[in-house]
Structure 1
Amino acid sequence: MSDDTPKFSVLMAIYIKDSPLFLSEALQSIYKNTVAPDEVIIIRDGKVTSELNSVIDSWRRYLNIKDFTLEKNMGLGAALNFGLNQCMHDLVIRADSDDINRTNRFECILDFMTKNGDVHILSSWVEEFEFNPGDKGIIKKVPSRNSILKYSKNRSPFNHPAVAFKKCEIMRVGGYGNEYLYEDYALWLKSLANGCNGDNIQQVLVDMRFSKETAKRRGGIKYAISEIKAQYHFYRANYISYQDFIINIITRIFVRLLPTSFRGYIYKKVIRRFL
């Protein structure tokens, strides 16, 4: 990339239960990218372990880390909103604390955004893994620009671990909300409804950790209730139709209440294409 490459911020939130090893691998993947971020903003969502703090300190010599701590755990949406206000640059690239960014991720984003100035939200495909990248061979694809609005009525049109956006546009629509487990999906629907343009790079740029424990957490009564609340919010806000609301509730609640082992199988074979 040339010397006039746009500067950008990487935004990450961590909390007490995050793995120090996974965090180190995530930061290493940022460092190994072909284009370096101008800053890496890390928000501690409440107090974290000394091991996590040690990992952050160990990467300061390689990355321009600016870290902040919320007084108590406020949830992902609140942590990211706080982080957005700390970002110096309009282009913000999200990175999760347990995922691995492919080495060309930032370069691909910069190239795409430079050529498509009217895009405000940009994501890409992700590939799931459990222990090592590539060990599951499951790619979560998201649509290109022309299909995003229709796609968004039933499922999130962007992969949150792979998303980048223009800070000014996200702040214009009010930033992340407090929708438990659905802060990102709610933000995308709100943004699209308020004139933001989105697109997805049609290749894998992030390896997303998805273990059996992850699948287990995405089920049960608590998760099902959060699904109902989120879908009802989307309906009341006129993001989705009544028909979409009913279909989404039926399909999602059925999956969330399946036994863990069976849900994992269905999720892998079928549901990943729809949820």
Structure 2
Amino acid sequence: MHLRSRKFTILMSVYHQDNYKFLNAAFESIENNTLLPDEIVLVEDGPLSKDLTETINHWEKKLNFKIVKLKKNVGLGKALNAGLELCNNELVIRADADDINRTTRFERQVDFMFKNPEVGISSAWIQEFEEMPCDRGFVRKVPAKEGLNHFSKRYCPFNHPAVIFRKSLILRHGGYGNEFLYEDYALWMKLLHSNVIGDNLQEVLVDMRFTDQTYSRRGGFKYFLSEIKNQYLFFKRDYINFSDFFINVASRSFVRLIPNEIRKIIYKYILRKKHD
């Protein structure tokens, strides 16, 4: 089958705090890809600003949008579930409203999934940036399938902004949950512990925007409580043992509760590695 005849859907969610300029750049990166989706399911998670609405209206004329309007903000997990139900294709690619998809992302991932029908979910590496792609060089690497189970005991095994999955498989396992800030991680753990085969392309395919707001969102007491709650949930479900639970909570709690400026330094210079 010719690659261009292999259909796939892009699933996105946008909400009122998203930046319309970043959203515009995200749409541009989709348009510039070597393989284009035959549909984009865009979930408007509650009322949007005028600038966001105008940006969407502009791109709706260029890209094949299917817009899902939610009356109120329900959060990422529920918004993605609403959009997933309306995706017409089995292969679904996740894309965020403020990230940049590299030009070969869709071609590389769709080709990989067609050549590996046993794989249910896959992602790739992401490179963080602040103003322009590659201005930081920090790369979040996730392992290939052989190392996924071990890696998942400490870290999220897939990069959500770079994920591709099979729709029927996600729906069969209940879709995204309601776990605050853990919607994706909890779902990935459920899949891996249900013997779903996952894998990751060992290359950067998405440039992920990392701003001061990103650092702020990754801290605070609410995030701290969510961390404990969800790690305990993993322990109860036998995804991790007690030693894993203790180490994960202890190591994460410090980062969640420190001031934002200190957390920024730790993320930039300790928790991230330079891409060679």
Note the 1:7-26 alignment, pairs <5 A.
7-26=7-26
Does the residue aligned with 1:120 lie in a helix, a strand or coil? strand
C-alpha displacement at 1:47, in angstroms? 1.1
Amino acid aligned to 1:22: F
Partner of 2:164: 164
Partner of 2:70: 70
Partner of 1:207: 207
C-alpha displacement at 1:237, in angstroms? 1.8
C-alpha displacement at 1:148, in angstroms? 0.4
Runs in 1 of length 4+ with deviation above 6 angstroms? none
C-alpha displacement at 1:258, in angstroms? 2.1
Partner of 2:99: 99
Deviation string 1:46-94 (CA, Å, 9 cap, x unpaired) is 1111211111110122210010111211110000001100100010000
Partner of 1:232: 232
C-alpha displacement at 1:220, in angstroms? 2.0
Partner of 1:180: 180
In the aligned structure 2, how far is the partner of 1:61 from the partner of 1:75? Answer: 27
Amino acid aligned to 1:143: P
Deviation string 1:5-44 (CA, Å, 9 cap, x unpaired) is 3100000001111111111110111111001101000001
Does the residue aligned with 1:72 lie in a helix, a strand or coil? coil
TM-score in terms of structure 1 length? 0.96
Partner of 2:34: 34
CA-based RMSD:
1.3
Alpha carbons 2:3, 2:111 under 8 Å: kept: no
Alpha carbons 2:4, 2:35 under 8 Å: kept: no
Note the 1:56-135 alignment, pairs <5 A.
56-135=56-135
Partner of 1:55: 55
In the aligned structure 2, how far is the partner of 1:235 from the partner of 1:3? Answer: 42
Cα distance 1:264–1:3, how it changes in 2: closer, same or farther (>3 A)? closer
**Deviating more after overlay: 207-216 vs 141-150:** 207-216
Partner of 1:190: 190
Does the residue aligned with 2:165 lie in a helix, a strand or coil? strand
In the aligned structure 2, how far is the partner of 1:272 from the partner of 1:230? Answer: 23
Alpha carbons 2:138, 2:272 under 8 Å: kept: no
C-alpha displacement at 1:4, in angstroms? 5.8
Amino acid aligned to 2:62: Y
Structure 2 gap segments, 5+ residues each: none
Does the residue aligned with 1:43 lie in a helix, a strand or coil? strand
C-alpha displacement at 1:267, in angstroms? 1.5
In the aligned structure 2, how far is the partner of 1:248 from the partner of 1:272? Answer: 17
Partner of 2:140: 140
Does the residue aligned with 1:200 lie in a helix, a strand or coil? strand
TM-score in terms of structure 2 length? 0.96
C-alpha displacement at 1:270, in angstroms? 2.2
In the aligned structure 1, how far is the partner of 2:155 from the partner of 2:14? Answer: 25
Identity value in percent: 52
In the aligned structure 1, how far is the partner of 2:202 from the partner of 2:209? Answer: 20
C-alpha displacement at 1:97, in angstroms? 0.2
In the aligned structure 1, how far is the partner of 2:187 from the partner of 2:159? Answer: 12
Structure 1 gap segments, 5+ residues each: none
C-alpha displacement at 1:269, in angstroms? 2.3
In the aligned structure 2, how far is the partner of 1:3 from the partner of 1:266? Answer: 42
C-alpha displacement at 1:3, in angstroms? 6.1
